[in-house]
Amino acid sequence: MNRRIIALAGVATIFALGGALAQKVTIMVGGIEKIIYLPAMLTERLGYFKEQGLDVTLITEPAGVDAENEMLAGKVDGVVGFYDHTIDLQAKGKALMSVVQFSRAPGEVVLVDSRKADQIKSAADFKGKTMGVTGLGSSTNFLMQFLAVRNGVPVAQTTSLAVGAGNTFIAAMKQGQIDVGMTTEPTVSRMLKTGDAKILIDLRTEEGAVKALGGTYPAACLYMMTDYVNKNKETVQKLANALVKTLKYIQTHTAEEIAAQMPKDYLVGDPELYINALKNGKAMFTPDGVMPENGPATVLKVLSTFDKGVMGKTIDLSKTYTTEFVKAAK
């Protein structure tokens, strides 16, 4: 006879069905269809979570800052979002850590409205402009503010407008609500194809990140509350096993092969565009989930430039990430 055993650990639940154990984990993704967060859904599609005995539920939330808040409220076990939130929140007394590092570059692109491209030629021209970001307090908000400050434009002389991602970002730029904005693939390729926008700053590669941000910039990752990690090491190890296997899959398969695994609606009705977008961004992913050695220092330097919550605070970077699980991944 089948047995159903429930043991609560945060949001996690263990089910026993016919003797087979499956650890239930809920993960919120800051825009699940974005290519920067592709490893989450790809792992699910390849069956790697189930292979580890995990029952993973992926929930999407357009802005990473909102996903972060859901985890802080105890509604989800982990977040696929940007590493910078672990630093920002440590400054606010919260302990989180990246357990699997997906990328070594933001994978973001600053687009400028084609109608204003002759007026806005660099971040030095952000003064008095409205900058589109996924959400206020989001990683795109952090990066846009840094780019402005680094190029001599105080944050107070710009306006940040939360416009989400995908169709809402596209609509905001087409309707003239934003002059420039930061977004990801495949939205970038969609806007370039229609001619509604032009690339101003490209952060899809490690080289692009070093040029614009001053160093390697680890971004997309799976981060979790430190307390959860310490209490659920077996579960976290299984998540790392599955995600590292996916990162290796990405390194050893073509963009066409990867796209074939994704849900059809992710291809936004244009498989060729999606494949090309993936080709443009594939290099950002780490091959093994390990945090780039000098990456955390770059992120801290960026946040310390403009984030009043981080300025002057003592941040222990060693507590914002761990390589324990990815190095032990099977």
Phi-psi region of 230 (alpha: psi -120 to 50; beta: other; left: phi over 0): alpha
Confidence check: pLDDT of 9 > 70: no
| 36-57 exposure pattern, b = at least 16 Cβ within 10 A, e = fewer | bbbbbbbbbebebbeebebbbe
**What's the whole-number mean pLDDT along residues 316-330?**
96
Secondary element (H or E) of residue 185: none
Q: Which pTM value belongs to this model?
A: 0.88
Burial label for 118, CB within 10 Å (0-12, 13-18, 19+), is exposed
Alpha-carbon span 180 to 311, nearest angstrom: 26
Q: How far apart are CA 240 and CA 222, in angstroms?
A: 9
pLDDT tens per residue, range 166-188: 899 999 999 999 999 999 999 99
Question: How much of the chain exceeds pLDDT 90, in percent?
Answer: 81
Choice between 31 and 99, residue whose per-residue pLDDT is larger: 99
Per-residue pLDDT, averaged over 123-145, amounts to: 93
Cα separation, 167 vs 164, in Å, equals 8
Per-residue pLDDT band for 295 (boundaries 50, 70, 90) equals: very high
The two three-digit tokens of residue 195, written as one number: 């001619």
Q: What is the largest CA-CA distance in the chain?
A: 71
How many other CB atoms sit within 10 Å of the CB of residue 210? 15
Q: What is the pLDDT of residues 90-105, one digit of tens each?
A: 999 999 999 999 999 9
Amino acid letter, 319: K
What is the set of domains in the chain, with CATH numbers?
Answer: 13-105+218-327 (3.40.190.10), 108-203 (3.40.190.10)
Paired with 166 in beta bridges are none
Task: Answer whether residue 159 shows pLDDT above 90.
Answer: yes
Q: What is the DSSP pairing of strand 20-29 with strand 54-60? A: parallel
- Omega before residue 106 within 30° of 0, cis: no
β-bridge mates for residue 20, sequence order = 17
Q: What is the pLDDT of residues 178-216, one digit of tens each?
A: 999 999 999 999 999 999 999 999 999 999 999 999 999
pLDDT of residue 65: 66
Q: What is the average pLDDT score of the chain?
A: 91
CA dist 24 and 53 (Å) reads: 9
Distance CA 255, CA 76 (A): 31
